Structure 1
Amino acid sequence: MRSEAKTYQFDQLPVVDYDKHPAYGRVLPMAQLGSRLKAVTYFAYGLILAVARRLIDAENLPRPPAGEPKLGWILRHLPVYLRLIILQRLSRLAAGKAYQPKTERGANILAPLERDGVAGVRIAPDKLLEIRTELAPHITILEQRLALKPAIAADAEEARLWLDPETNGEIYKSFNQTAADLGVLEAASAYLKRPVGVGHLAVQINDPVEGASEFADVGVDSSATKHFHIDTSGNLLKLVIYLGDTGPANGPLSYVPGSQRAAKGLWDGLVRRANDFAGLSSTAPSARELFFALPEGWRRKASFGADLVAENDYARSILDDQWRVTSDEESAVLYDPTGIHRDGIVSAGRRTAVVLKLTELAR
């Protein structure tokens, strides 16, 4: 149950003292010059990617068609991309309150979204059945993939089947209409201050994930905050629609209300995303050594959940203040992925859902 009294207790994202961490500073030797230079090189690469993605707002640009080489496609259509980037920037500067909701449905979603970074959405049972029927062929494809390679269920991206908008135009049209009818597009456009629609859509199936602690090599147990993170993408919202019963055990979205406000620091956000893009956020032993070789101020991650120890104040706030959005409360959840969250982490049963990215569509 969502308690409006619960909110993230800090004005910044979690900071970990890696010098005292049992899987880092307590067991890793002091980095030598060569390791430090290598770590900085990796970080610099990640920082270039993070800055570039922020400047061009990559998630709000059209994706190359499935099967097309990404770089070649973008270079061939560079004038189109530049025009879109310029138009998007100009329209946002002039937006103001132009996209405030005009319906009560939209206003009711926007209010908690602006306050907490997350809002529940209720969908009628007959509409949910219609959605599941529409997606049934794609659900079957994903089920067959998971049956052939059950190990990939542990990989969040492999457990998703992204639908190409070029070949699934009718599905995208249908979901845009559904999101509009629910007031979601109104609320999302007001929150992002620009017109948005369903830019990317994926069917997702999550099965129980088992495995040893990420730090088993040094005898450290998994953290209770494992999998909590902020997304590396920005300037968009996500909508998760549950296509079946989703309770505490089979992977509900868990969100820490108010944490989206703590993610506004420009440099902190770039550092965290740089480490994720460079592979330095991995908990593999080699990546931990390289990450620990970074200067202390650069030891920040977007995927920080596994590194938070039990006695950490940030961990206590995340666990105490999280909202587990189950299907007995809401059929769907709209959220700002720059806030602290985890999704689809199943301990028992299976979860089937559809994940929508709400982005600015090309005009």
Structure 2
Amino acid sequence: MQSEGKSYPFDHLPAIDYDAHPAYGRVMSMPMLGARLKAISYFGYGFLLTSAQRVIDIAHLPRPAAGGKPFVALLRQLPTYLRLILLQRLSRFTAGRAYAPKTERGAAVFAPLQSDGFAAVQLGSDAVAQIRTQLAPQLSALEQRTAPAIDGEHSRIEVDANAHPELYRWFNQTAADLGLTEAASAYLKRPVGVGRIAAELAGARAAPPASPFADVSVETSPCDGFKVDLSYNVLKLVIYLGEVGPANGPLTYVAGSNRAATRFWDGLIRRANDLAGLSSTQQVWRETFYALPAGLQRKASFGVDLVADNAFAAAIQNDQVELTSSKCNAVLYDPAGIHRDGAVTGGRRTAVVITFTELPR
């Protein structure tokens, strides 16, 4: 069993008592009215951003072509965007079980994806070699950008769909042949395809990073790096293009946590704080975050704040599955679940990250 019998035991994402936190309430004084108003204003800005993203569902709309004036491009494509938004809403409303897997290959991917939030996939060596060939220009550019060595960097090149339509056609066909598209459509209950492709190169730091709370002598959390993504209603596929062990950044997923990430308001609040910059661990931002009402003190990037003796930290450590290349060389997963990706402590990792979204029709 790919989840190794593990399953996240809570029905909600981690809740943190910031009044008792050693880097927040224990070392900070009670916020004054001015600080509270400032915090609320930041949160309000983030809330407007994430609400707009939720309503428009921006992750499922085609991006303007690279270069030029973004605002002008947005105005020109506004009729197309409005049509897509209406069609997407209608298709989701009427979907029902229309996208249930119809092939054995799709069903084999969908079953673990639904239960655990991720599905481990093993691509053949020929498929990996083809991907390297298809993305040779991007991978070469990444190597040149980071030569002769990288120090804790995550370099990424996103492939422009308008400039490389043949590349997107190839990946869409490959994903369909592997049953990935069928499983993704069944999971999201809508027709999806490869909407974004990015080549990534991640490297380890020359020296271990200091604790983000070093200013108050608090050690790094064992859950540092665990988070939920800011995007809505998408699935991601990470493909390793080389050996990936425990040290060079495997995807680590908390099995079953996808079912705990479905609370509407909780998701909005977490994403609002992250979009507003309130998830930063710098002291000034910690003080601003702590000035929020307790009900708004939630983050999408929460792992860094989980202290070691917390019940949620224990659950994450016990139920995480480290997906190294000894188990698989590709993982289809729900980024709304608790995960950590690309935390490289030794060597480096070359990978391709694909996002499944609704495509223009």
TM-score range, shorter chain: over 0.9
- Alignment correspondent of 1:178: 174
- Alignment correspondent of 1:283: 281
Deviations 1:281-314 (A, max 9, x none): 1111111010000001100000001000000000
Give the 3-state SS of the residue equivalent to 1:162 in structure 2.
Answer: strand
Separation in structure 2 between the aligned mates of residue 163 and residue 5 of structure 1, nearest angstrom? 37
Give the 3-state SS of the residue equivalent to 1:261 in structure 2.
Answer: helix
* Structure 1 residues 94 and 3, CA gap change in structure 2 (3 angstroms): closer
Deviations 1:156-183 (A, max 9, x none): 4xx2111101111111111111101110
Tell me the CA shift for residue 4 of structure 1.
Answer: 4.0
Asked whether the 8 Å contact 2:2–2:120 carries over to 1, the reply is no
- Alignment correspondent of 1:308: 306
- Alignment correspondent of 2:75: 75
Tell me the CA shift for residue 148 of structure 1.
Answer: 7.3
Counting only pairs closer than 5 Å after superposition, residues 170-209 of structure 1 correspond to structure 2 as 170-209=166-205
Counting only pairs closer than 5 Å after superposition, residues 11-90 of structure 1 correspond to structure 2 as 11-90=11-90
Give the 3-state SS of the residue equivalent to 2:335 in structure 1.
Answer: coil
TM-score (norm 2): 0.97
Asked whether the 8 Å contact 2:121–2:330 carries over to 1, the reply is yes
Query: Letter of the aligned partner of 2:261 in structure 1?
Result: A
Give the 3-state SS of the residue equivalent to 1:101 in structure 2.
Answer: coil
The reply to whether residue 256 of structure 1 matches residue 259 of structure 2 is no
Deviations 1:167-222 (A, max 9, x none): 11111111111101110000001111111111011001111144211111111111
The reply to whether residue 296 of structure 1 matches residue 314 of structure 2 is no
Asked whether the 8 Å contact 2:199–2:353 carries over to 1, the reply is yes
Separation in structure 1 between the aligned mates of residue 319 and residue 167 of structure 2, nearest angstrom? 36
Give the 3-state SS of the residue equivalent to 1:77 in structure 2.
Answer: helix
Deviations 1:268-289 (A, max 9, x none): 1100000001000111111101
Counting only pairs closer than 5 Å after superposition, residues 334-345 of structure 1 correspond to structure 2 as 334-345=332-343
Separation in structure 2 between the aligned mates of residue 69 and residue 48 of structure 1, nearest angstrom? 24
Separation in structure 2 between the aligned mates of residue 254 and residue 327 of structure 1, nearest angstrom? 12
- Alignment correspondent of 2:224: 226
* Unaligned segments of structure 1, at least 5 residues: none
The reply to whether residue 357 of structure 1 matches residue 337 of structure 2 is no
Tell me the CA shift for residue 69 of structure 1.
Answer: 3.3
Counting only pairs closer than 5 Å after superposition, residues 140-151 of structure 1 correspond to structure 2 as 140-147=140-147, 150-151=150-151
Give the 3-state SS of the residue equivalent to 2:135 in structure 1.
Answer: helix
Separation in structure 2 between the aligned mates of residue 105 and residue 2 of structure 1, nearest angstrom? 16
* Unaligned segments of structure 2, at least 5 residues: none
Query: Letter of the aligned partner of 1:275 in structure 2?
Result: N
Separation in structure 1 between the aligned mates of residue 329 and residue 209 of structure 2, nearest angstrom? 30
Separation in structure 2 between the aligned mates of residue 321 and residue 72 of structure 1, nearest angstrom? 47
Deviations 1:10-34 (A, max 9, x none): 1110011100111111111211111
- Alignment correspondent of 2:162: 166
Query: Letter of the aligned partner of 1:207 in structure 2?
Result: G
* Superposition RMSD in Å: 1.3
Q: Between the two proteins, what is the percent identity of the paired residues?
A: 59
* Structure 1 residues 187 and 3, CA gap change in structure 2 (3 angstroms): closer
**Which of 236, 239, 242 is the aligned partner of 1:241?**
239
Give the 3-state SS of the residue equivalent to 2:40 in structure 1.
Answer: helix
**Between Structure 1 and Structure 2, how many residues are aligned?**
359
Query: Letter of the aligned partner of 1:31 in structure 2?
Result: P
Separation in structure 1 between the aligned mates of residue 162 and residue 197 of structure 2, nearest angstrom? 12
